[in-house]
Amino acid sequence: MEFTNEMKLELKAISENESFARMVIAAFTASLNPTLEELGDVKTAVSEAVTNAIIHGYEGNRQGVIRMHGYIKGKILHIVIEDDGVGIPDIARAMTPLYTSKPELERSGMGFSFMEAFMDELTVESEAGAGTKVMMKKIIGLENKYE
């Protein structure tokens, strides 16, 4: 199936760009006529993924780049957030609720849990020293959830 729509964005890995990423994904998703709840879910998941890349992937290195790729197939929104940061040595552990590798920064350890809860599908690929790729899907429209 061909994409109905597609966008790509590169952002500098700074906290100021987290809200920009939320706005961009909201505007991109609008063509699917999402409910306010669906839109909030997507924005929250993107916010968590971008924040993880900034804080954990680049560990505050303001020179890092975060790539966001969004595409639509039918009523399914696909989002990929990718960085070239330090990577995740143990993905299963990182995805455990309340686990954080940065407790000194008072992180809640709920980023991946929120992404899983708010999106219909979440896949994480990472390798220590080689960056992280977070892939998420959200079905927009209840009538599509049971097909």
Q: Return d(Cα 87, Cα 5) in angstroms, integer.
A: 29
pLDDT for position 125: 95
* Structural domains of the chain, count: 1
pLDDT tens profile 83-128 = 999 998 777 767 665 555 555 555 555 567 778 889 999 999 998 8
- Is residue 119 domain-resident? yes
Judged against a pLDDT cut of 80, whether residue 1 lies above it is answered with: no
Q: What is the pTM of this model?
A: 0.86
Residues with a known catalytic role: 48, 52, 107
Domain that holds residue 80: 5-141
- Is residue 36 domain-resident? yes
pLDDT for position 72: 96
Q: Which of 99, 88, 98, 147 is nearest to 123 (CA)?
A: 88
CATH number of the structural domain spanning residue 121: 3.30.565.10
18-48 b/e (C-beta count within 10 Å ≥ 16 → b): beebbebbeebbeebebeeebbebbbbbbbb
- Is residue 146 domain-resident? no
